Amino acid sequence: MNRIARRFETLRGANKKALLPYFTSGYPDCAHVEEFIRRADERGAAVVEIGEPYSDSIADGPTIQQSFHSALANGHRLEDTFEMVSRIRDSVTCGIVSMVSFSIVHRVGLDNFVRDAATAGFDGVIFPDVPVEESQTCADAAGKAGLCYVGLTAPTTTADRVASIAKSATGFVYQIAASGTTGERTAVWSDLGAAVARIREICDTPVCVGFGVSTAEHVREVCKVADGAIVGSAIIRHIGEAIEKKSSPDLVDDVEAFLAGLSSGLTTAA
């Protein structure tokens, strides 16, 4: 069984919810990201999302875009991500998902990308800019490579498109909790429960919620209705602030402490 499916099956059996932290590959460098993944795994993260830097991202807000810019300016390339995951794969048990613009995937070829991702040790892929009309082709290719294909639904997604996305998704369905780009918000979307319920009527695939989930309280609110909470921009912002304030050896400990604070929102979620 794929690691992602196995982790969610175990969590459901224990009536527990998941934290899914996001890190930008190469930010501030791959050595640090390896340690972030390791600490997240030790803290019980079910899945870690690794964002692939891209100069023309359409779904990411300024915080993650800045991390992309920093990584690319330092010479980061896709091959560096694959090598990083290969190095750490045998030392962590969490699922690892690549969140990557399809422009990058198209450049190297869909079949080539999913093959190389699986070989490196990724367990799933998220292509945030693939339209639903093309999602089944991507899901099939990912499945043949042994990868989960995570579909995204947004507050504005129509019911028929939600059904198509949910049916093609494996691993988990990513419910976007806010219209627009990634970024921290002050509150959780008020209609989130209804959106998650709509997906659950279609499939039994776990549902995780991201975009705007920024605090332990947000994690708690999300996990009242969903299987997991995805936190990205808040973590990337914290990394950036820690880089400015602290020396490199302290950075990993600082990020781990931040993850521990977010994880505290899981304690009363079930």
Q: What is the pLDDT of residues 157-215, one digit of tens each?
A: 999 999 999 999 999 999 998 654 444 445 555 688 999 999 999 999 999 999 889 99
Within-domain flag for 264: no
Beta bridge partners of 125: 98, 149
Is residue 267 in a domain? no
Give the list of residues 6+ apart from residue 264 with CB closer than 8 angstroms, or none. Answer: 216
Answer yes or no: 60 catalytic.
Answer: yes
Work out how many domains the chain is built from and give that number.
1
pTM of the model: 0.93
The CATH code of the domain that includes 247 is: 3.20.20.70
Beta strands in the chain (DSSP E): 18-24, 47-51, 95-99, 124-126, 148-149, 151-153, 173-176, 207-210, 228-231
Cα(171)–Cα(82) distance, integer angstroms: 20
Instruction: State how far the Cα of 86 lies from the Cα of 7, in Å rounded to an integer.
Output: 20
In this structure, which amino acid lies at residue 19? L
In a domain, 113, yes or no: yes
Catalytic residue among 41, 52, 60, 123: 60
Residue keyed to tokens 């991500």: 81
Distances (CA, A) of 116 to 81, 103, 120, 169, 191: 11, 16, 6, 20, 38
Q: Tell me: the pLDDT tens digits for 221-230?
A: 999 999 999 9
Domain-located, residue 252: yes
Residue 76 lies in a domain: yes
Q: For residue 266, tell me if it sits in a domain.
A: no
Of the residues 49, 52, 123, 227, only one is catalytic, namely: 49
Contacts of residue 201, defined as CB under 8 A and 6 or more positions apart, other chains included, come to none
- Write the DSSP string, 29-47: -HHHHHHHHHHHHHTT-SE
Domain of 172 in residue numbering reads as 3-259
CA dist., res. 262 & res. 73, Å (int): 30
The pLDDT tens digits for 233-265 are: 999 999 999 888 865 568 999 999 999 999 999
- 49 classed as catalytic: yes
Domain-located, residue 270: no
Residue 268 lies in a domain: no
